[in-house]
Amino acid sequence: MASQEEIFKKLVSHCKEYGFVFPSSDIYDGLGAVYDYGQNGVELKNNIKKYWWDSMTLLNENVVGIDSAVFMHPTVWKASGHVDAFNDPLIDNKDSKKRYRADVLIEEQIAKYEDKINRETEKAAKRFGDAFDEQKFRETNPRVQETEAKKAALHARFAKALNDENLEELRQIIIDEEIVCPVSGTRNWTEIRRFNLMFSTEMGSTADGATKIYLRPETAQGIFVNFLNVQKSGRMKIPFGIAQIGKAFRNEIVARQFIFRMREFEQMEMQFFVRPGEEAAWFEKWKQTRMRWHKALGLGDKKYRFHDHDKLAHYANAATDIEFEMPFGFKEVEGIHSRTDFDLSSHEKFSGKKIQFFDPELNRSYVPYVIETSIGVDRMFLSVLTGAYSEEKLEDGETRTVLKIPPALAPVKLAVLPLVKKDGLPEKAREIMDNLKFEYHCQYDEKDSIGKRYRRQDAIGTPYCVTVDHDGLVDNQVTIRYRDTMQQERVPIVRLEQVIAEKLSMKNLLKTI
């Protein structure tokens, strides 16, 4: 069986081969950690964005959207804390000259302890069969207990070092845990330094005295600076939320794992403004709502988990991640943060404008508290693809590669395939497409054998293939073939839309949240 690493490599090349994701400026050998979305990728990405946008703005009458500019007044980033505090602790290996994030090296070490425990448990489960009591095993097995204790100790030490911003202690942890550079295999580490992640550029010509501005590292600040505009123009009452989808830029130093960590990426963020003191309850509510949104896609409930933050960002009083099980372990896809009144208060201070809400029920004004849900479109895209990618052995010994993308998100919904390129079958196929194309992204394909055409559609995750044959010209029926089961069924053309509509409907997906 292929290892997770091999599967991930295959997925990356699959993405390129089938028009999902290309390296940026590919003909110039690419640009580090920057990617372009191809003809199928953009459809999937747009569908993910629609699923998120509709879930926010249609399902919550008190959530509205905006689209703010990438460029913002430079003081925004002073007020938000990004100029002073948006940095990563970096460490270099002197032999390989490779640079790493110190916190990521330690997190990976913690994950190794977890893997060891899981492997031990799986082995025991196989040995004991049905009689296996996993909880008891984890609580009593001496080897598991020993690894668990090491993990807990490392975790506590790491959290303390992060919270104290103690770079020397972080380095000492790397030394004590005997963490080696994956490239050189040595422990020859430099000191740890801090590195700001914001890209900057200049606005205006140098002769006029150009202003240094930043490419936004998060979309959230565009929401905060528009709080008053939206609240007043929309006559919004607390609690209410503002949602936005847009590009963000970070000069990531350790950019690995394909589109997981990019320098230009897209975020879907929603800031929910609440009364001070009510933030804990809203934090809990949004945690659950967001988890339901993920699980509704049906990629497998076990693939998700919450991960509470050890180190809170400079603005937060509670934070958790929703992690998805990628081929390289459980990884953050979304962050949910209780940001207190940090941002609005800070913008009040720096702008000199009063940013408050008069609450008629309390008969007083206050700076609202904020619960933020922040998800990366690209990471969501990666989680959908890794969850959907599957290689299946068929009865004839062949292997089919199929993307079991949730149908409502699939780039192409329906492929229409005339059995042969003559006898009026292409015309009939086109007629079917012409009826459905207003609602569904359809693809027409008449080249190669039907089997090959099915494989091509499996590879891009098309949920339904419809074959038009000679009988169909007489009885007005077609054969519909289902992607996941490969089962085929004869259906009257007039019923086709009804058969495919249920699973393709975004509305139905939204109803399951």
Are the C-beta atoms of residues 328 and 350 closer than 8 Å to each other? Answer: no
407 vs 355: CA distance, rounded Å = 43
- Name the burial class of residue 66, with classes exposed (0-12), middle (13-18) and buried (19+) by CB atoms within 10 angstroms of its CB: middle
Least spacing, CB of residue 253 vs ligand GAP, in Å: 10
CB 402 within 8 A of CB 461: yes
3-state secondary structure of 97: coil
Q: At its nearest, how many Å lie between ligand GAP and the CB of residue 112?
A: 23
User: Length of the chain, please?
Assistant: 513
Q: Which is nearer to ligand GAP, 238 or 245 (CB)?
A: 245
The residue with its CB nearest to ligand GAP is 376
By C-beta, is 123 or 247 nearer to ligand GAP? Answer: 247
Nearer to ligand GAP, 199 or 444 (CB): 199
Alpha carbons 81 and 61: distance in angstroms, whole number: 32
Q: Where are the beta strands (DSSP E) in 250-380?
A: 264-274, 304-308, 318-326, 329-340, 357-359, 364-366, 369-376
Please report, to the nearest 10 degrees, the dihedral formed by the alpha carbons of residues 338, 344, 349, 351 taken in order.
Answer: 150
Q: Which residues bind ligand GAP (CB under 6 A)?
A: 218, 220, 250, 252, 261-262, 265, 267, 269, 332-335, 372, 374-376, 378-379
Query: What is the closest distance, in whole angstroms, from the C-beta atom of residue 251 to ligand GAP in the complex?
Result: 9
> Based on CB atoms, which residue is closest to ligand GAP, 86 or 464?
86
Rounded least distance, CB 335 to ligand GAP, Å:
4
How far apart are the two ends of the chain, measured CA to CA in Å?
Answer: 35
Give the 3-state secondary structure of residue 272. Answer: strand
- Give the C-alpha separation, 497 to 65, whole Å: 32
CB of 184 to ligand GAP, least distance (A): 25
CB of 269 to ligand GAP, least distance (A): 6
- CA dist., res. 513 & res. 501, Å (int): 18
For residues 248 and 496, which CB has a smaller minimum distance to ligand GAP in the complex?
A: 248
Q: Between 65 and 482, whose beta carbon lies closer to ligand GAP?
A: 65
Which helix (H) or strand (E) is 168 found in, with range? helix 167-176
In the complex with ligand GAP, the residue whose CB is nearer, 189 or 315, is 315
**Token pair of 169 as six digits:** 């202690």
Query: Nearest approach, Cβ of 360 to ligand GAP (angstroms)?
Result: 30
